[in-house]
Amino acid sequence: MRIIDTERIPIMVWTEQIEEGALVQAKNLANVPYAYDHIAIMPDCHQGYGMPIGGVMAAAGAIVPNAVGVDIGCGMCAVRTSLETMQKSRLKTILEQVRQAVPVGFTHHKHDQDEGYMPERKGDLPVAEREYGSALRQIGTLGGGNHFIEIQKGSDGRIWIMVHSGSRNIGKQVADHYNLVAVRNAEKWDTGVPKAWQLACLPEGSKEAKLYQGEMQFCVDFAFNNRKLMMDRILEIFSVQYKGDIAFDPMVNIAHNYAARENHYHRSLFVHRKGATRALPGQTGIIPGSQGSASYVVRGKGNPLSFMSCSHGAGRRMGRKQAVRELSFNEEVRKLEEKGILHSIRSKKDLDEAGGAYKDIDKVMADQEDLVDIVVRLAPLGVIKG
């Protein structure tokens, strides 16, 4: 970790290199009046909207929608199975059946899902109520971008199942609505933050902040239920394939886009984690790699300098359009097939999610040895992406 001390508060950075755009955003964060003590930048950081992905900001007296992002509650879940091996033919069959059971990309369910899968609605949720009908067809769907379903072989000798997904369109609608509210009221609230920084806030205690907190929590709960429903349907496929001769450990779950009230440095603060994962002492977490690279189950060390956080993945090293433009389709496919991975790169447009578009996950893990301990290393066997 190194410290940048040129701004109003220090910036603590867990990487040797940080792209210019992300650095500018980190400096902006360090100069907003509600940022408290220091800013923490994880080793997977890259430029986002307003706040870099892989950033952690503790705020006093305010909550910032753009410091949470549009995929509220996005996160990881994983289940360890009793299986020690899996034949490639069986793996192909399972992946085909998962694709039939779990819509991916922009595809939703054709019919409403049972409302019992949806989170409980608490308090005033104007945006969530408006989007509730659409969400009934999105619950249990993967989405696109960097979301994935992966079957993996662990360093513990077991087969694992991992799902990465979030709150789908309902999270984006909530994020966009309350960021717009913050922008429109910026002059009235007089925070002194330039509009160009994209860090408009909702003052703590305001009606708008209370509404956002309730809706954000609904989206976090929706994202969890979304992952769990997909995982339940995947486990059912495994159970049928193995005729019940299989056991599953309890699901591990961790989110990486949210703001939560926590106590740090003897003060109650809103800790914003945007593409960062909570890593409390002894807490089990998940840090995924890119398509074709390892993922990790980790145990948090509770480092106070990172506000008890760690990275949420490998982090992009190039933008999506740049990856499609510059990466070699044949080379990316060759690297995956040499490892025997059943992958999701079918055409050049899929290169936006190729391994070459991401940072080296092993370097990212080495950069945060003071934040987490590795529990299990997970090597990919088969991948489904949107």
Phi, psi of 41 (to 5 degrees): -120, 120
Tokens linked to 230: 């997909």
Asked if residues 355 and 290 have their Cβ atoms less than 8 Å apart, the reply is: yes
Rg, the chain, Cα only:
20
Phi, psi of 157 (to 5 degrees): 85, 5
Known catalytic membership, residue 312: yes
Q: Which residue in 95, 102, 99, 139 sits closest to 117, CA to CA?
A: 139
Buried b (16+ CB within 10 A) or exposed e, 153-170: bbeeebbbbbbbbbbbbb
Chain length of the chain:
386
Within 8 A by CB and 6+ apart from 262, the residues are 58, 268, 269, 271, 307, 308
The residue whose two tokens read 């694992």 is 160
Residue from 46, 164, 312, 343 carrying the catalytic annotation: 312
Phi, psi of 145 (to 5 degrees): 65, -130
Coil, helix or strand at residue 20: helix
> Checking phi first, is residue 299 left (phi over 0); if not, alpha (psi -120 to 50) or beta?
beta
Sheet holding 267-274, edge to edge: 2-4, 11-13, 35-46, 53-59, 267-274, 257-264
DSSP state of 206: S
Residues labelled catalytic? 312
